[in-house]
Structure 1
Amino acid sequence: MHSDETRPASEFWDELYGEREQVWSGKPNPALVSEIETVAPGRALDLGCGEGADALWLAQRGWTVTGVDISGVALERAARHAQEAGLEDRTVWLHRDLAEWQPDAEYDLVSAQFLHSPLEFPRERVLLTAARAVAPGGLLLVVGHADFPPWAQHAHEGERAQPPTANELALALGLPEDQWTVEARTSEGREATGPDGQKAILTDAILKARRTA
């Protein structure tokens, strides 16, 4: 599928999800699991939740989760998976464009897993908006590609050929040191499978920030 920046982003993502019955693996992202598995549950916000695997993993561990995505097709699947798992009471699904949406609540965890787009997308501004929704003592967890997968169709992040490192993202967000404790690192390699079964070893850029005030 080729991107067309003249049409609404919602149409692009609905078409992508509509091309197959399941786009993603259905498993939670490994970095989310490793970073959050031992964190006491509370209220979580999952940005770009897609088909809901991360949100459902959190809900299964006692979190109350709000999943937000621009694709209604993806959200229908997420809601169905939540119903099948008996997690309707722990999940809320919002059909929103993150480029325009403003959270109206605070969360103990704000998670943005691979919030990349082949379309023009104000990622840093969206993440700054999300950071303001983190409750005191809560976490902001941003995980992205350290290098784009070989099956990526085109450069993401505007005209950048490479995504920002975790340190670059931390600098761009400029979270005040007197209000945040920030960890930025690159993960070890992990096996990944592309949409057509391609195999690759990928590394992730992980930004984990705890709001201290």
Structure 2
Amino acid sequence: MIPLRIVYSTIELLHSGRSLELGCGLGRNAIYLMQKGCTDDAVDLSEQSLQWAAERAKENNLTVNLIHKNIFDMKVKVETYDIVYDSGCFHHIASHRRMDYVHLVQKALKPGGYFAITCFVQGGELGGADISDEVFGMVGLWTTLFRKKCDSCTKTLTT
């Protein structure tokens, strides 16, 4: 199983670190991140998906911390992760919970850490949830990468 392109881009920027994957599904991105030197926590609501992810991790001689929880029930420590990645979680979240999602990501990321997301957009060519959000108004698959602000990161980029 090949990870999504945005995962390649993120690991090229960071090279290693602690990662959290929201909505890990079968674990393809978590396994890739582990192979590249990350320590990975991967969460999903589907117990079956996590069982399959565990099998794939075992086939690759890796130990991924697979977490069976709703992301809003997780106890995330402040500024723990270098990478927070979402492939398949956000587009299932009702609009009234999306700010909770943003706060969870902000809390989890270290200063200078990366947040990458891939999600389907309502009415897109590839499908998507019935949950509308005018902010995204794009068709198909939406992928982006953000970096959490930190003073030393800004200084490094401007010098």
Q: Same fold (TM over 0.5)?
A: yes
* 1:125 corresponding residue in structure 2: 100
**Which of 75, 83, 88 is matched with 1:109 structurally?**
83
Contact kept in structure 2, 1:147 and 1:203, CA below 8 Å: no
Query: RMSD of the alignment, in Å?
Result: 2.7
* Pairs aligned (count): 148
**Amino acid in structure 2 at the alignment position of 1:109:** I
Contact kept in structure 1, 2:81 and 2:113, CA below 8 Å: yes
* 1:164 shift after superposition: 3.7
* 1:43 has 2:18 as partner: yes
Q: Residues 2-54 of structure 1, C-alpha deviation per residue, up to 9 Å, x if partnerless?
A: xxxxxxxxxxxxxxxxxxxxxxxx32112222233342201100011111011
Contact kept in structure 2, 1:102 and 1:129, CA below 8 Å: no
Q: Give 3-state SS (helix, strand or coil) of 2:114's partner.
A: strand
Gaps of 5+ in 2: 152-159
Gaps of 5+ in 1: 1-25, 169-185, 187-200
* 1:28 corresponding residue in structure 2: 3
Contact kept in structure 1, 2:112 and 2:147, CA below 8 Å: no
* 1:154 shift after superposition: 5.1
TM-score (structure 2 length as normaliser): 0.78
Contact kept in structure 1, 2:10 and 2:114, CA below 8 Å: no
Which stretches of structure 1, 4 residues or longer, exceed 3 Å deviation after superposition?
A: 145-151
Q: Residues 122-158 of structure 1, C-alpha deviation per residue, up to 9 Å, x if partnerless?
A: 2331232122111123222223235654453751x3x
Structure 2 counterparts to residues 28-177 of structure 1, below 5 A: 28-88=3-63, 91-104=64-77, 106-115=80-89, 116-117=91-92, 120=94, 122-145=97-120, 148-150=123-125, 152=127, 155=130, 157=131, 160=132, 164-165=135-136
* 1:206 shift after superposition: 1.2
Among the aligned pairs, what percent are the same residue? 25
Change (3 A) 1:93 1:112: same
Contact kept in structure 2, 1:145 and 1:163, CA below 8 Å: no
**Amino acid in structure 1 at the alignment position of 2:18:** R
Bigger fraction of residues in helix: 2
Q: Give 3-state SS (helix, strand or coil) of 1:111's partner.
A: strand
